[in-house]
Every structure is written in structure tokens, then in C-alpha cells.
Amino acid sequence: MPREIIVVTAAYGNDRIQAAGGQRNLLAVIAAAGADGVEIRRELFTPQELDALPAFAHTLSLLGLFACYSAPEPLCSPDGKLNPLLPTLLSEAAQLNARWLKVSLGHFRNATALAPLKGWLAQHSVALVVENDQTDCGRLAPMSRFSAAVTEQALPIALTFDMANWLWVGDSAQDAARELAPLVRYIHVKAAVPHHYHYRAVALDEAPPSWRDLLRQLPADAPRGIEFPLESRDLVAVTRHYVNLLREE
């Protein structure tokens, strides 16, 4: 079965998305480039667009794309409890017919706090994936503790592995891949280079080749999401280039 490739709408940049009139108007570009799916970002929706998710889902269906719904929300709040917004986010993801909802880990403390998740997830045909972000909460140590808790409780939760975010938190991406790979079901393909006092994401053709070795440490059947900058006058062409590259790599 061919490897599935997802395009993250944010890869086109906020200015380009706004100029296009919103994420929905980039779906045809993504489909024309041969991608299988699209990661839709909640933070890029207007309130009016959030009220029209079924129409967005209809457009996805017409174009033959599946969806991942990404929300800039943590799984766990600062008090260690589950984010009370999660049921709403799962409902929105269901309206989009999304395969999964993606959130960051947040302030995970112990497995006990995860108890309500099974009930919440049972109400929708939407899976949950948790990503390592660019904060201390997304470091390898808490991600490993969380993965152990998920495995121990047999929770229907998996991980999104962002290949470059480890740079921001000062952890080894290779160590993270070795430890977390068994629970990884979605890969954010991203490379970054030093920039001032931090890093900036770059297109794969501009990055050191080490991203290839890291990618090979991760599950070969996990869908790969393009989350690095896609910049060109011809968005279909540049998107197709990287869709084909990641499908064959």
C-alpha cells in the first residue's frame, strides 16, 4: 500500500492562507499535488468557519482527501487534569470527519488524570494523537512517562512525532525516535537550522540530509505530514515535489 502523505495547511504560511481566503481554498491545491490528506489547523479558522465545519468536510470528500484536525491545545491543563475543551475539540473533529485530533501533551502528571479519556473518545469515531511541542512539556522525559501510561492503561491514544521540535527543547531526536517509535502513528516531517538564538524550519531541499536517517527510525507505515515551508509561485508544483519525495523516501 502506498505511503500516505499529508499536507499541513500551515506550511503555506498565514499570509498565503489569508490571501487565498482561508484553508478551504487551498484544498484543491493539495489534492492536485497528489496528497492523500490535509492537516487542518483550528487556530487558522475564523469563528464563522468553525460554524461551517460540515461544509468543509464536504469539500474534503469531493476532493478525495482525508483530514487530521490540529488544535493548539494541551491534553492536560496546568493543574494536571484533562483539558475541559477536549470534548468540544473531538466534536469539531467529528464534524470534519477527521481521522484524528492532534493536541500537545501539556502538564501531564500521572495516569490517573487520563481516566475520562476512554469515555470521551468512545463518543466519536475520532482517534487522539499527542505531539511533542516546543515547550518543556514536549521534552522526551514527560513524553516517555505519558507513553508508558498510555501503554499500561491500553488507552486508544498514539503519538505524533515532530522531527524538528526536539531541537527547540534541547533533546536528541534520535533518542526520542528510539524510545517513542512504538506509539508513533503520525510523523510531522520537518527540518530546522539555527537562526539567531533559536531555530527556523526550512524546506527539505535546503536542510542537512540527517532528516532522512531520522525518518528511517520511525514507523514506515505512519502517515507523513509536510510541515516545513512550501513557498513558490506554483504551489501545486512545489507541493507535488515534496509529496512525491516523501512517498518514495
Domain range summary for the chain, segments of one domain joined by +: 5-248
Cα separation values, 195 from 9, 39, 94, 122, 214, Å: 23, 26, 38, 43, 21
Q: Looking at this protein, which amino acid is placed at residue 53?
A: L
Other Cβ atoms within 10 Å of 91 Cβ, number: 15
How much is the mean pLDDT over the chain? 96
Phi/psi of residue 108, each to 5°? Answer: -70, 130
Closest CA to 31 of 248, 245, 235: 235
Looking at domain 5-248, which CATH architecture does it have? Alpha-Beta Barrel (3.20)
Share of the chain above pLDDT 90, in %: 94
- Residue-wise pLDDT tens digits, 205-241: 999 999 999 999 999 999 999 999 999 999 999 999 9
Output the pTM of the full model. Answer: 0.96
Q: Is the pLDDT of residue 1 over 80?
A: no
- Give the C-alpha separation, 132 to 124, whole Å: 24
CA distance between the termini of the chain: 14
d(CA 39, CA 66): 9
Which residues are within 8 A (CB) of 220 and not within 5 positions of it... i.e. 6 or more apart?
3
Mean pLDDT of 112-136: 94
